[in-house]
Chains A and B, each alone.
Chain A
Amino acid sequence: MSEPEFEHWLRLLGRLLDLSDAQRDNVRRELRDHLETQLADLMARGFSREEAVARALDEFGDAAALGRDLSRLNVRRRWIMRSTIGLGVAAAAAVVVSLFLPVDPESSRTATGQETAATVEAVPDAPEFASPADRRTRTQLSQAIDRLELEDISLENVITYLRETSGLNMHVHWRVLEAAGIEREQPITLHLTNVPLGKAIDLILDDVSGGEVALGYEVDEGIVRLSTIDDFDRRTDTVVYRIGDLIAPALSEAQKIALRNIVTSVSTLRTGHSENLSSDQIEKRLDEMVDTIQTILETRRGDRLTEMIRETISSDSWRGNGGDAGSIHLWHGRIVVTHSKRIHRRIQELLEQLRRTESPVS
């Protein structure tokens, strides 16, 4: 144990003893005195300061052993004590976490059914796709944690702790994680203040992944699943998106009139005279022509939108682009998309942005 580790150990010990701040300070003072007395003793016996420090700190015992000893003290929430790493578990119990900010009364009304966009945090799932359970869960994930301090706590314990304190149904795909080289006992050290729970989960996953494998979470019928991104990407849903408003009307009224004039004058030129049609029949023909042209233009727009989606969102995951997971088909003013939840979210965002920036057809 080095000196910074000693300070760290001291802090942890202070917390574990379930004491007030004043009492914790007392403990630190006392242990510091002990350490210094021991150093003086060892140096008097002939050890160099370095050797003395190393020995003295060793004699303090390792943190896990301390944890086991301290776990016999009356620490609150004994039910958490299932881990073999006594310190991690005890620390999780005593760690300084204040629970989430109280649920805004506005948003609890929202949770029971009323859509008040103003009070609910930006919920990525558009109303027509997210079940009420999903929306509730996302609201909870957007609530802020005041403070979260984790020191060498195993991933498993951290999840247990978050699950118990948030009340969220969290489900970890352990086998997938282990196959990716992430162990349950992997220790996490993290200090966060004022972060939304969802963000905290992201940061925790970042910490254990060490940048080696992409991890994330998904909301699925109110359950928060934690796994690798690959795992999530392999699960696909088929969703139908309305895009009629984005690709139509292809022609404005003025454009339609101009088109009719052109068609009329062209057919007159070609036949030398207008066909022997009643004005009603002529009108009908022109309408049909304009409709056909409109449909062609809309389909073209739809195709272009589909292309844009395939090119800008996870381009190599679409079938035909080298991937095997995703497919997208244009169908009568809608697009039918099969892909992972993550990609669906990005498509929703894109469509929303397109709608927001769409200027009215002149």
Chain B
Amino acid sequence: MFGRDMLRGSLELMVLSVLADGSTYGYRILQRLAEASGGQVELKAGTLYPILHRLEARGSVRSRWDSTTGRDRKWYALTAAGRKALRREADEWFAYAECVQGLLRPALRAI
């Protein structure tokens, strides 16, 4: 499990990426994150749902209730704005990661 501070900046980005695959629901998002990260990212429900609500408030995702399967379930999907945000933030993330790598490599050689 990655350190909390490390994760904090990128949780929303991760959630958006899971949603890029298609409409899904909270529990499933947690599973996907755990699977995709090889068990390294195990979010708790209490962490995920505030993020989803925040994203919805921002207009990056939209939700709908569906009870057709007999289960009262809330499904989330990326909006167009959400897709744009994902692209933009992913770019920023890669740039950031490169920057940090650029600093770390020589530093590790030095110590």
**Contact assessment for A17 and B27 in the assembled complex, using a CB-CB cutoff below 8 Å:** no
- Is B74 a contact of A65 with CB atoms below 8 Å? no
A29 touches B72 (CB 8 A): yes
With A30-B26, A31-B45, A65-B46 as known contacts, state yes or no: A17 contacts B53, CB within 8 Å. Answer: yes
Report the Cα distance A30→B30, complex, angstroms: 14
Query: Is A34 interfacial (CB-CB < 8 Å)?
Result: yes
A186 interface hit (Cβ, 8 Å): no
Contact with A along B33-55 (1 / 0, CB 8 A): 00000000000111101100110
Is B72 a contact partner of A59 (Cβ separation < 8 A)?
Answer: no
Q: Is the interface of B mostly helix, strand, loop or mixed?
A: helix
A66 within 8 A of B: yes
Within 8 A of B (CB), among A215-240: none
Q: Report if A61-B47 is in contact (Cβ < 8 Å); known contacts: A30-B26, A34-B26.
A: yes
Task: Kindly identify which residue among B46, B72, B73, B74 contacts A60, using a CB–CB cutoff of 8 Å.
Answer: B46
Tell me if B71 is interfacial: C-beta within 8 Å of chain A.
yes
Which residues of the partner chain B approach A286 to less than 8 Å between Cβ atoms?
Answer: none
Contact B44 A30 (CB under 8 A): no
Complex alpha-carbon distance, A203 and B51, angstroms = 37
User: Shortest Cβ distance from A43 into chain B, in angstroms?
Assistant: 14
Contact with B along A42-77 (1 / 0, CB 8 A): 000000000000000001110001100110010000
Beta-carbon nearest neighbor of B71 in chain A: A33
Closest A residue, CB atoms, query B48? A34
Interface contact A60-B45, CB-CB below 8 Å: yes
* Chain B residues within an 8 Å CB radius of A59: 44-45
Q: How far is the CA of A142 from the CA of B52 in the complex (A)?
A: 44
Q: Which residues in A have their C-beta under 8 angstroms from that of B53?
A: 17, 27, 73
Q: Do residues A27 and B49 form an inter-chain contact, with CB atoms below 8 A?
A: yes
Q: Could you tell me if A69 and B46 are in contact, using CB atoms closer than 8 angstroms?
A: yes
Q: State whether the Cβ of A265 lies closer than 8 Å to any Cβ in chain B.
A: no
- Closest approach, in angstroms, between the C-beta of B111 and any C-beta of chain A? 33
* B50 and A30 form a contact (CB under 8 A): no
Q: Which residues in B have their C-beta under 8 angstroms from that of A38?
A: 27
Which residues from B are CB-within-8-Å of A31?
45, 49
A33 to B74, CA, bound (A): 8
Q: Indicate if A37 sits at the interface (CB-CB under 8 A).
A: yes
Tell me whether A61 and B50 are in contact in the complex, defined as CB-CB below 8 angstroms, given that A29-B72, A38-B27 are known contacts: no
Q: A94-115: which have CB < 8 Å to B?
A: none
CB 8 Å contact bits of B3-30 with A (1 = contact, 0 = none): 0000000000000000000000111000
A26 at the interface (CB under 8 A from B): yes
Cβ contacts under 8 Å, A29 to chain B: 65, 72, 74
Q: Verify A66–B46 contact, CB threshold 8 A.
A: yes
Query: Which chain B residues lie closer than 8 Å to A26 at the CB level?
Result: 74
With A29-B74, A34-B26 as known contacts, state yes or no: A17 contacts B45, CB within 8 Å.
no
Q: How many Å lie between the Cα of A69 and that of B44 in the bound state?
A: 11
Give the distance to chain B from A57, nearest Cβ to Cβ, in Å. Answer: 10
Interface residues of B in 79-95 (CB under 8 A from A): none
Contact of A61 among B44, B65, B72, B74 (CB under 8 A): B44
Which residues in A have their C-beta under 8 angstroms from that of B46? 13, 60-61, 65-66, 69
User: Can you list, as one digit per residue, whether each of B48-74 has a CB less than 8 Å from chain A (1) or not (0)?
Assistant: 011001100000000001000001111
**1/0 contact trace for A85-98 toward B, CB 8 Å?**
00000000000000
Contact of A33 among B44, B50, B54, B72 (CB under 8 A): B72
Chain B residue numbers with a CB within 8 Å of A37 are: 27, 71
Contact A30 to B74, CB < 8 A, known contacts A38-B27, A60-B46, A69-B47: yes
- State the CA gap A33–B65 with chains docked (Å): 11
User: In the assembled complex, how far is the CB of residue A249 from the closest CB belonging to chain B, in whole angstroms?
Assistant: 77
A-B contact pairs, 12 of them (CB 8 A): A26-B74, A30-B26, A31-B49, A33-B25, A36-B71, A37-B27, A60-B44, A66-B46, A66-B47, A70-B50, A73-B50, A73-B54
* B-to-A contact residues, CB < 8 Å: 25-27, 44-47, 49-50, 53-54, 65, 71-74
Given contacts A17-B53, A32-B72, A66-B46, list 17 more A-B pairs with CB under 8 A: A13-B46, A27-B49, A29-B72, A31-B45, A31-B49, A33-B72, A34-B27, A34-B49, A60-B44, A60-B45, A61-B44, A61-B45, A65-B44, A65-B46, A69-B50, A73-B53, A73-B54
**Lowest 4 CB-CB distances: which A-B pairs, in order?**
A61-B44, A61-B46, A66-B46, A37-B27
